[in-house]
Chain A
Amino acid sequence: MNSKMIFSNVLRFALILLVQVFILKRIVLMLDGRPSFQILFYPVFLMILPFKTPRIALMLIGFLMGIFIDMFYTPLGLHAGALVLMGYARPWILSFLAPRDGYNMNHSPTIKRMGRTWFLKYAASLLFLHTFFYFSLEAFTFVYIVDILWQTLTSFAISMVFILIFMQVFNPED
């Protein structure tokens, strides 16, 4: 990872954080007084880190980002917990979706590098895992499994739209 890549990732981290807590959180509140869904856009940052990012770094970055997000939501630790799990699961999803000749380790899993269909499958698996774990953690029990599933599905669909729009508009390479 060269210094340009580090710089662009730090910038991306900050911008995604600001968009999540100052725009998307407010959009949800405006649409629905006491929301039954959430727009979870920030996982896209963890999704498009380079292929060679080690699993432990994914988890630590996820934890850091989650804690930052959590400062604007309550209770503390909710987004962080879900994002850490997503970081842990990313290598599995990647190996599951690996093309026949493997990945180019210097690239990142983006639309530009891997194509639209591949990215859709990849982002959907990770985001579904993230939202499901997020709402389970929020409810803290599986007694409300129907609510959890319903919230997961609506939030998953809306968040997916935002992530795909972001990827289409900015179309980052790495």
Chain B
Amino acid sequence: MGSLLQLFARLGNFLTLLFLEGICLMLIVQGGPKQKDILLNTTGLIVNVANERISNLTSYLNLKQQVAELKNSNTICHNARPGARYDNVLVKDTININDSLYSYIAAEVISRNIYGANNTMILNRGGAHGVEKGMGVISDKGIVGIVEDTSRYFCKVISILHSKSRVSAAVISRDTSRKKNNDTFGVLVWENGHSEYANLTDIPRYHEVAPGDTIMTSGYSFAFPQGHLIGVIESIPGPDPIKTSMHGIKVRLSNDPIRLRHVYIVKMDRKKKEDLLRLEKDGGYEQ
């Protein structure tokens, strides 16, 4: 026992250093449920409320730009009103084809961690407002990310600028002579790099793509409806370094997910989603 105490007196400082650094490294590496719980629940109460207050104060600073953006989306809403269009839809069936598949929940970004390879943000809408894990998040200019976790009043969003982010994306050719490749689709990923660019992978090299082609959401997921703008092909430096039969495509994102404030959470109609899931699972419709 005595020699143990002696040892501690001699090496105590160094052992404490190792112990504390060990805890820190564990916290960093883990990033698992423990960190998520602490982030969303424990600090959520204090930090998010404080963040929201501060965010409210600082929101006055760029009020002008915010108003312009809101006006823009208001215009889109007005355009979509039934009265604003010439109605030539024929009633073909008893099924109401105007039934909406997706609805949108307006939300505001109250805090963001946009440093390094894993960019996330916290929105001021949560389970109480109907937000669920896996929902997509968009803004006026393009897609923003996917909800990773929710608490009662807040949700955490994995931005498309995150090493874990995977978004199904379709290429729309600008050149009409290549229209036949319209249905090409791949996966949008992002590596720690510039926030304006992402990479599009899994497009086979026999498909012709060219700089200037538009990238949109493919609709092959529950998170995003089809046809939301993602960006434009900036350049095609060459084949994918890992999967050499695929294109390596650099995409200029239309959105700037790290400066946004007003976003919309995409909510798929629950009944229809369950319906679709059942079809995929059982391969048939249960009456």
- Give A contacts to B, CB under 8 Å: 22, 26, 29, 33-35, 38, 55-56, 59-60, 63, 66, 70-78, 80-81, 84-85, 88, 137-140
Contacts and interface: CB of A to CB of B under 8 A. Distances in A.
A104 B58 CA distance: 46
Interface string B18-54: 0011011111100100010011000100010010001
B227 to A, nearest CB: 27
B113 interface: yes
B120 interface: yes
A59 B18 CA distance: 11
Contact of B39 (A76, A84, A138): A76
Majority secondary structure, B binding face: helix
Given A35-B114, A35-B115, A76-B39, A84 B259 contact: no
Contacts of B20: 59-60, 63, 80-81, 84
Contact of B31 (A72, A75, A85, A137): A75
Contact of B25 (A35, A73, A81): A81
B155 to A, nearest CB: 15
B195 A34 contact: yes
Interface stretch (B9-17, B72-80, B133-141, B179-187): B9-17
Contact of A88 (B17, B38, B195): B17
B21 A85 contact: yes
Contacts of A80: 20, 23-24, 27
Interface of B: 12-13, 16-17, 20-21, 23-28, 31, 35, 38-39, 43, 47, 50, 54, 58, 112-116, 118-120, 161, 195, 256, 258-259
Closest 3 CB pairs of A and B: A77-B27, A81-B24, A77-B24
A38 B116 CA distance: 11
B180 to A, nearest CB: 38
Contact of B23 (A29, A77, A139): A77
Contact of B24 (A38, A71, A78): A78
15 contacts: A33-B195, A34-B115, A34-B258, A38-B115, A59-B20, A60-B20, A74-B39, A77-B27, A78-B24, A80-B23, A84-B20, A84-B21, A88-B13, A137-B24, A137-B28
B13 A74 contact: no
A76 B47 contact: no
B12 to A, nearest CB: 7
Contacts of B16: 56, 59-60
B112 to A, nearest CB: 8
A66 B35 CA distance: 15
A76 B17 contact: no
Contact of A84 (B17, B58, B161): B17
B252 to A, nearest CB: 15
A76 B35 contact: yes
Contact of B118 (A59, A66, A74, A137): A74
B161 A34 contact: yes
A71 B27 contact: no
Contacts of B23: 63, 77, 80
A74 B113 CA distance: 6
A78 B23 CA distance: 10
A26 B111 CA distance: 10
B271 to A, nearest CB: 36
Contact of B47 (A59, A72, A78, A81): A72
A166 B28 CA distance: 30
Contact of B13 (A56, A75, A138): A56
Contacts of A75: 27-28, 31, 35, 118
Contacts of B35: 74-76
A137 B23 CA distance: 13
B115 A71 contact: no
Nearest to A79: B24
B21 A81 contact: yes
Nearest to B17: A88
A59 B17 contact: yes
Contacts of B119: 34
